[in-house]
Amino acid sequence: MTIQEVDPKIIEKANIWLSGRYDTETKEAIKNMIENDPGELVESFYRDLEFGTGGLRGIMGTGTNRMNKYTVGAATQGLANYLKTCFAGLKEISVAIAYDSRNNSSSFAGITAEVLAANDIKVFLFENLRPVPELSFAVRQLKCQSGIVITASHNPKEYNGYKVYWNDGGQLVPPHDKNVITEVNKITSIDEVKFGGNNALIHFIGKEIDDAYLQVLKSLSLSPEIIERQHNLKIVYSPIHGTGAILVPPALKKFGFTSVTTVDEQMIPDGNFPTVHSPNPEEKAAMTMAIEKAKTINAELILATDPDADRVGVGVKDQNGNYILLNGNQSATLLIYYLMNQWKAKGKLTGKEFIVKTIVTSELLKEIALSYNVESYDVLTGFKYIAEKIRLFEGVKTFIGGGEESYGYLVGDAVRDKDAVVSCCMLAETAAWAKDQGLTMYELLINIYQEYGFYLEDLISITKKGKSGAEEIQQMMQNYRNSPPKTINGMKVVLIKDYKFQKETNLLTGTEIPIDLPKSDVLQFFLESGSKITVRPSGTEPKIKFYFGVKGKLQDKSDFDKVNHEMADQLQEIITSMGLR
């Protein structure tokens, strides 16, 4: 690409930065792109970063489509303007800020604090890196009007991001998410951003919030007597160079676990994530060192959290003694089953309890909850919608737990985002409970399948980078809507749910009924076999995701391997028939 081929609007945006109050380093980077890399200029300026399901997230660098001090500053100024409008009647507005181990996270957090303080907003800034769930807790604990975490979760090292929370401790939901970006878009010049902070309004926080948070987590324990008996359960833990190193080991210790071995090489916070290609516990490669450590000590449970400690990957031994990694649905299944069982055993169920899962998460969670007469609610993908449901029922119903297939879970309502710290503790407690009955976690999962049905899921995630990739993803969704498949793998499609147009269409009867959820660019195809396929562009990454789920019967535990293989084959046949593998 030559500079002459670049859209004039992109050139205009770049020139605004060249002539504006931007630092010399930034201007030199833009000049270099114009002269030597017009393609990169397009990628850096063709759009502005927007709030998606996880907030602001992008590659670090120069430009409106990059994470840098100016896009962070503009986002913060927009948020400050919105907060001052929403809470105009308050004597004082306050915001809590946390950040993870990523490159520039500390710097971005400092800029965020300064801009807020310059707008006469009180800031509670964590003294060093902290997990996302602790920020959510701090917002509620300190009675803040908002919270911010600088993180890009499990994305590769070149990314960073900016998650915004409301006064309930949950991420922004409509209308606040769109209203904030509207305020950001009103800022037409960097001169409108107040970068000079009032340091007197910035207060550092740390141990006092840690202690309060850990105390609340400990209060969620359902089986302290079992942990006392099984305290030496062998656990391997890795934070994958992230914030989990600060709180997960102390939390496990507080619960009573005395045999926790850490992957020392990955206990060091490092935004370059030197021991992994990607710090994502959903990927086996990120768990390799933890698995190797588990083999050396004959561990019974492997736990690994992503950089901001809101997701957790789990490894256990199978029936042959080999270490395997559970998928997100399986971990959620074990956790929800344990919570249901122990809430009933402790006499805590009153008929006013509920769980929440996302529409792409296994239907098995709903089956388990209903068997205990506990209500189950489906929400759109994104943990902010789970938090929204908790807030809706606050004071009326009790939230037990919930989660999503993408390795994020929550127990209790003190935090309003996925919480890998409490999840590590409660999954360890689940393992201790199983061991107390002479079962491994894997054997417990097989027992659940035998009782409720064998659910097996898979996920295909296709990355389409840049402007052309985003357009290609849009075209794929348009094609599925304009020409939906009539059959998949030789099986009839009997039901289509289109969350963008909020309608459910029964292809057998032709009837349509409305879907009572917010609009979202998601399609679901239900087959006559009971299989479910969901197609969803990611709200935070340049990806389109395909979620697959099949259901079978496990009559006898001895048939597990056979049924597992049959269902896995069925899954692969469906994926292949859609041309995805």
Q: Which pLDDT tens digit goes with each residue over 53-97?
A: 556 889 999 999 999 999 999 999 999 999 999 999 999 999 999
Helix ranges, 346-465 (H): 364-371, 383-392, 420-436, 441-452
Q: Is the pLDDT of residue 289 over 80?
A: yes
Q: Is the pLDDT of residue 115 over 60?
A: yes
CA proximity to 48, closest of 28, 26, 27, 72? 72
Query: Per the domain annotation, does 30 fall within a domain?
Result: no
Model confidence at 491, pLDDT cuts 50, 70, 90, reads very high
Looking at the structure, tell me whether residues 518 and 379 fall in a common domain. no
Stretch among 43-52, 250-259, 569-578 having the lowest mean pLDDT: 43-52
Q: Is the pLDDT of residue 513 over 80?
A: yes
Q: Is the pLDDT of residue 424 over 80?
A: yes
Whether residue 175 is preceded by a cis peptide bond, meaning omega within 30 degrees of 0, is yes
CB neighbour class for 195 (10 Å; exposed up to 12, middle 13-18, buried from 19): middle
d(Cα 1, Cα 36) in Å, to the nearest integer? 10
Structure tokens at 299: 């561990």
Looking at the structure, tell me whether residues 94 and 234 fall in a common domain. no
Query: Per the domain annotation, does 42 fall within a domain?
Result: no
Quick one: residue 203, left, alpha or beta (phi over 0 = left, psi -120 to 50 = alpha)? Answer: beta
Domain with residue 296: its CATH number is 3.40.120.10
The total domain count for the chain is: 3
SS3 percent helix, strand, coil of the chain, rounded to 5, is 40, 20, 35
pLDDT value of residue 373: 97
Is 238 an active-site residue?
Answer: no
Q: Is the pLDDT of residue 218 over 90?
A: yes
Looking at the structure, tell me whether residues 252 and 395 fall in a common domain. yes
Spatial strand order of the sheet with 202-205 comes to 56-59, 159-166, 146-150, 94-99, 122-126, 202-205
Q: Is the pLDDT of residue 340 over 90?
A: yes
> Would you say 402 and 409 are in contact if contact means Cβ atoms under 8 Å apart?
yes
Query: Per the domain annotation, does 2 fall within a domain?
Result: no
Report the pLDDT averaged over residues 421-435: 98
Pick from 452, 476, 505: which residue ends a domain? 452
pLDDT value of residue 54: 57
Model confidence at 117, pLDDT cuts 50, 70, 90, reads very high
Query: Per the domain annotation, does 528 fall within a domain?
Result: yes
Spot the catalytic one: 153, 406, 520, 531.
Answer: 153
What is the DSSP track for 122-178?
A: EEEEESS---HHHHHHHHHHTT-SEEEEE--TTS-TTEEEEEEEETTSSBP-TTHHH
CB neighbour class for 337 (10 Å; exposed up to 12, middle 13-18, buried from 19): buried
CA 504-577-478 angle, to 5 degrees, is 45
One-letter amino acid for residue 554 of the chain:
L
Looking at the structure, tell me whether residues 159 and 266 fall in a common domain. no
Looking at the structure, tell me whether residues 254 and 383 fall in a common domain. yes
Beta strand 543-552 pairing with 454-463: antiparallel
Query: Per the domain annotation, does 505 fall within a domain?
Result: yes
pLDDT value of residue 539: 67
Pick from 409, 431, 452: which residue ends a domain? 452
Looking at the structure, tell me whether residues 179 and 239 fall in a common domain. no
Query: Per the domain annotation, does 271 fall within a domain?
Result: yes
Structure tokens at 381: 């993908």
> Would you say 52 and 383 are in contact if contact means Cβ atoms under 8 Å apart?
no
Report the pLDDT averaged over residues 476-500: 96
State the virtual CA torsion across 163, 164, 165, 167 in degrees, nearest 10: 160
Quick one: residue 12, left, alpha or beta (phi over 0 = left, psi -120 to 50 = alpha)? Answer: alpha
State the virtual CA torsion across 183, 147, 203, 118 in degrees, nearest 10: 0
Domain with residue 461: its CATH number is 3.30.310
In Å, how far from its chain's centre is CA 191? 34
Q: Is the pLDDT of residue 440 over 80?
A: yes
Query: Per the domain annotation, does 36 fall within a domain?
Result: no
Q: Is the pLDDT of residue 450 over 60?
A: yes
Report the pLDDT averaged over residues 97-106: 98
Looking at the structure, tell me whether residues 304 and 436 fall in a common domain. yes
Looking at the structure, tell me whether residues 236 and 121 fall in a common domain. no
Looking at the structure, tell me whether residues 446 and 460 fall in a common domain. no
Domain that holds residue 525: 455-577
Residue with tokens 């989660």: 403
Query: Per the domain annotation, does 134 fall within a domain?
Result: yes
Structure tokens at 255: 């619960």
Report the pLDDT averaged over residues 263-285: 96
Classify each residue of 439-461 as buried b or exposed e, where b means 16 or more C-beta atoms within 10 Å of its C-beta. Answer: ebbbbbbbbbbbebebbbbbbee
pLDDT value of residue 150: 98
Helix ranges, 230-327 (H): 244-255, 288-297
Looking at the structure, tell me whether residues 497 and 415 fall in a common domain. no
Q: Is 318 helix (H, G, I), strand (E, B) or coil?
A: coil
Q: Is the pLDDT of residue 259 over 90?
A: yes
Mean pLDDT of all residues belonging to the chain: 95
Residue 248 phi, psi (nearest 5): -65, -50
Give, as one character, the DSSP assignment of residue 327.
Answer: P
d(Cα 331, Cα 283) in Å, to the nearest integer? 15
pLDDT value of residue 467: 82
Model confidence at 52, pLDDT cuts 50, 70, 90, reads low
Positive or negative torsion for Cα 471, 472, 473, 475? positive
Residue with tokens 């990607």: 278
Beta strand 260-262 pairing with 159-166: unpaired
pLDDT value of residue 182: 85
Q: Is the pLDDT of residue 111 over 80?
A: yes
Report the pLDDT averaged over residues 27-55: 87
pTM: 0.93
Pick from 205, 234, 258: which residue ends a domain? 205
Q: Is 523 helix (H, G, I), strand (E, B) or coil?
A: strand
Looking at the structure, tell me whether residues 391 and 494 fall in a common domain. no
pLDDT value of residue 549: 94
Looking at the structure, tell me whether residues 385 and 254 fall in a common domain. yes
Structure tokens at 380: 């759109």
Percent of the chain predicted with pLDDT > 70: 99
